[in-house]
Structure 1
Amino acid sequence: MPALPAVPAVPVAPAAVPPTPLLSVTWTDHITGHRGFLVMDRLVRGVCSGGLRMRPGCTLDEVTGLARGMTMKEALHYDPSARYIPLGGAKGGIDCDPRAPEAYDVLVRYLRAMRPYIESSWTTGEDLGLTQDLVDRAAAEAGLISTVQAVYPLLDDEAAARGRLADAFAVEVDGIGLDELVGGHGVAEAVLAALDRAGHAHAGARVAVQGLGTMGGATARFLTRAGLTTVAVADIKGTIANPAGLDVEALLAARDAHGTVDRSALRPGDRELPGEAWLSTEAEILVPAAVSYTINQANQARITARWIAEAANMPVLPEAERLLAERGITVLPDVVVNSGTNAWWWWTLFGDIGADADEAFAHTRRSMRALVDVMLRRAEADGTTPRAAAHALAAERLPVIGERFGWYTSA
């Protein structure tokens, strides 16, 4: 497997990874009372990156944790020889049901309120509960040029870069936009890298996926095409299971904009089970690809899988992860596993890849496999978990990035 470019190890000074974020903003919608949040964990050259989610119950603490995760994702993809220069980490969140009648108007007002940050320092895009098309439409209504316009001054050729990204978003593969596939492709490659390192065959390996939206749907598609068998998927209505394997393409074709599957598409052998049934499915790999905090201290006892690949952000609570590790179950952490979408945006915008599906998938494959390999080797060498290893790698890179590029301007 290809090795990651060498990055000099630098001792982590106390200021390198501050215990609190750089900036936290809480917004209250004056019409509905819904609250929204923005957390900037760190800046690099004055800019930070992280998606915007909308879900009922979203909290400032949740967004703060997600922003710190984005800082790590950016650092983990640092390649000194690449055009893509990592940004700082950030995240936005709105406490509102995206299916509610008022949701779109709340989104527009949130973006209007956050407009000064988006124009100057925060680049954002779709996350849980939102699609990129919806975010783009609301951003235009809020008076924004783009949700990533803060990065434009850092580009060598802004017009060419914007054209390249627009062309990439127009690419479709088997009827699905490339932007909706690259994240799940990255998750799938992370899973395959772990299987390969363990000497486990792809054929016959069983997968259960929670969430059949953008990330979960693409993950199921690519793992199935790699020879694995998807035996369960869960959405808001419950779990769909078939020990012989589900028809993933048929389920993808039957889902709505929120990833909910029309049950009329099920085959005779498909069973409808309760929502949490996916956890105890007989499978080698579980892929939580929906909400945060899904696997807790109580329900982790139902899991018999060998690997959990965090396609969602923060789906496994720390105490649950400790208990899973004691039982020999490996959690492949979100800061690595689901980092492909964010990286693809910047690889494309900065010009490391063009607006081409084959090039995007090949670059994602090389990068994710190399990153997973170095993380698992580090975990084995340190006698720790993959998450601890990933955090250690990020902590080594952050001071290098800060020293080379500066927080607010180029160093």
Structure 2
Amino acid sequence: MSSAPLLSVDWTDHVTGRRGHLVVDRLVRGVASGGLRMRPGCTRAEVAGLARGMTMKEALHYDPEARYVPLGGAKGGIDCDPRDPDAYGVLVRYLLAMRPFVERFWTTGEDLGLTQDLVDRAAAEAGLVSSVQAVFPLLDDEAEARQRLADAFAVEVDGIGLDALVGGCGVAESVLAVLDRAGEPYAGARVALQGFGTMGGATALFLDRAGLRITAVADERGTIVNPAGLDVPALLAARDAYGTVNRGALRPGDREEAGYAWLSADVDVLVPAAVSYAVDAGNQAWITARWIVEAANMPVLPEAEELLTARGVTVLPDVVVNSGTNAWWWWTIFGDVRADADEAFAYTRKSLRELVGDMLDRADKDGTTPRAAAHALAEDRMAAIAERYGWY
């Protein structure tokens, strides 16, 4: 895979001066997939790294027998606080500027700082048919595919949308797969999470239901800790749209600690599920967990991972672990799964468990890290896709 992306576009909002970026890393059948994030400090380099990750996430789910054929990788990013009063206007104007790309070859959706409802509303205001309309020419029956996706987004489980659960289901299954491989029981296994929004909250829910003990959850206000285990359903019910928990829901045994306390929590599994670049060469020294499972995109910096690996901490990479949300969209649109929660969860669990197994098998065979193994698998599968469909 070449080191340079196929296309990089920079944008400046004429009203506020805010900056935005679009990076298309690769096209497959003329289309690329990747979400749009909004956060203060978002850079072109960050977006390029995320776009490269999307290329790998797509390729890793290549199944020659499936209806879904993976797309290329892309990503969008806007340097703006999503809580800023100007944020929605910035989002609409960004999509207006990027409309030709969205119409022709960039399929996008929610990412950090944005919900799918907000992206859909802004896309409509920008005159777009859909944020994923570039994929429609690849489908056998566009109307049927759009109806499947609409039906899937209407499915709720215990008051939470299926689209907000399926990614966390994949992260949780990655955790369970690595515990099974190590011969570790679920009961009593301790987990700390950074982030309690869509991905972190759903991951906590599925792990809690599997019998693991969630002992620390970090949000914007700090870290909530209870060594005996937090009441995950109660915390989920008490969070706002940004994943911040109302402290009025805490129980007597719960305590509040500093925002960075999740890093040093006495746990078996650490799940960074919020921002990129959360674990660096300095704070990695606080980590005592045996496994780090990347629910967020790019949360562990390369120099930190090298140090963690040297002291026996295994990092399961984002390109595998959090790939379930993106894959579920396409499994649904292309018709591999129906708009049914049980079917979606079963398909996600099976796919992620197989992918984690393939990655760890490759790591053992090559004597490398899981990340290096995932990248090698992605290269192999990208070559197979290129042989079948060409390079663009």
User: Smaller-chain TM-score range?
Assistant: over 0.9
* Displacement of 1:182: 0.3
Paired residue secondary structure (1:280): coil
Identity %: 78
Paired residue secondary structure (2:263): helix
1:232 aligns with: 216
Equivalence map 1:178-327=2 (5 Å): 178-327=162-311
User: Out of 385, 389, 392, which is 1:405 matched to?
Assistant: 389
Question: Residue type matched to 1:203 in 2?
Answer: A
1:96 aligns with: 80
* Displacement of 1:301: 0.3
Rounded to whole Å, the distance in 1 between the matches of 2:144 and 2:94 is 30
1:4 aligns with: none
Paired residue secondary structure (1:82): coil
Rounded to whole Å, the distance in 1 between the matches of 2:294 and 2:38 is 19
1:163 aligns with: 147
Q: TM-score, normalised by structure 2?
A: 1.00
* Displacement of 1:407: 3.5
Instruction: Give CA deviations for 1:192-244 in whole Å, capped at 9, x if unaligned.
Output: 00000010100000000000000000000000000000000001110000000
Instruction: Give CA deviations for 1:108-165 in whole Å, capped at 9, x if unaligned.
Output: 0000000000000000000000000111011111111000000000001111111001
* Displacement of 1:405: 1.1
Equivalence map 1:55-204=2 (5 Å): 55-204=39-188
Rounded to whole Å, the distance in 1 between the matches of 2:388 and 2:5 is 21
Rounded to whole Å, the distance in 2 between the matches of 1:336 and 1:210 is 18
Paired residue secondary structure (1:66): helix
1:29 aligns with: 13
* Contact 1:72-1:394 within 8 A present in 2 as well: yes
User: Out of 290, 313, 337, which is 2:321 matched to?
Assistant: 337
* Displacement of 1:399: 1.5
* Displacement of 1:52: 0.3
Instruction: Give CA deviations for 1:246-279 in whole Å, capped at 9, x if unaligned.
Output: 0111111111111011111111111000000000
Rounded to whole Å, the distance in 2 between the matches of 1:338 and 1:210 is 14
Rounded to whole Å, the distance in 1 between the matches of 2:267 and 2:127 is 48
Paired residue secondary structure (1:322): helix
Rounded to whole Å, the distance in 2 between the matches of 1:167 and 1:267 is 37
Rounded to whole Å, the distance in 1 between the matches of 2:250 and 2:193 is 16
Question: Residue type matched to 1:368 in 2?
Answer: L
Question: Residue type matched to 2:264 in 1?
Answer: S
2:37 aligns with: 53
1:9 aligns with: none
Consecutive unaligned residues in structure 2, runs of 5 or more: none
Question: Residue type matched to 1:178 in 2?
Answer: L
Rounded to whole Å, the distance in 2 between the matches of 1:84 and 1:41 is 20
Q: TM-score, normalised by structure 1?
A: 0.95
Question: Residue type matched to 2:285 in 1?
Answer: A
Paired residue secondary structure (2:228): coil
Paired residue secondary structure (1:194): helix
* Contact 1:186-1:339 within 8 A present in 2 as well: yes
Matched, 1:367 2:351: yes
User: Out of 345, 350, 362, which is 1:378 matched to?
Assistant: 362
* Contact 1:84-1:346 within 8 A present in 2 as well: yes
Rounded to whole Å, the distance in 2 between the matches of 1:281 and 1:403 is 47
* Displacement of 1:403: 1.9
Paired residue secondary structure (2:279): coil
Paired residue secondary structure (1:331): strand
Question: Residue type matched to 2:108 in 1?
Answer: T
Rounded to whole Å, the distance in 1 between the matches of 2:84 and 2:25 is 30
Rounded to whole Å, the distance in 2 between the matches of 1:107 and 1:403 is 37
Question: Residue type matched to 1:111 in 2?
Answer: L
* Contact 1:46-1:407 within 8 A present in 2 as well: no
Equivalence map 1:384-395=2 (5 Å): 384-395=368-379
Question: Residue type matched to 1:160 in 2?
Answer: E
Rounded to whole Å, the distance in 2 between the matches of 1:334 and 1:282 is 23
Instruction: Give CA deviations for 1:163-203 in whole Å, capped at 9, x if unaligned.
Output: 00100000000100000000000000011000000101000
Rounded to whole Å, the distance in 1 between the matches of 2:254 and 2:126 is 44
Rounded to whole Å, the distance in 1 between the matches of 2:380 and 2:361 is 16
Across the aligned residues of Structure 1 and Structure 2, the Cα RMSD in angstroms comes to 0.5
* Displacement of 1:100: 0.5
Rounded to whole Å, the distance in 2 between the matches of 1:343 and 1:386 is 20
Question: Residue type matched to 1:339 in 2?
Answer: S
1:14 aligns with: none
Rounded to whole Å, the distance in 1 between the matches of 2:378 and 2:111 is 22
Rounded to whole Å, the distance in 2 between the matches of 1:255 and 1:29 is 32
Aligned residues: 392
Question: Residue type matched to 2:276 in 1?
Answer: S
1:354 aligns with: 338
Rounded to whole Å, the distance in 2 between the matches of 1:182 and 1:407 is 30
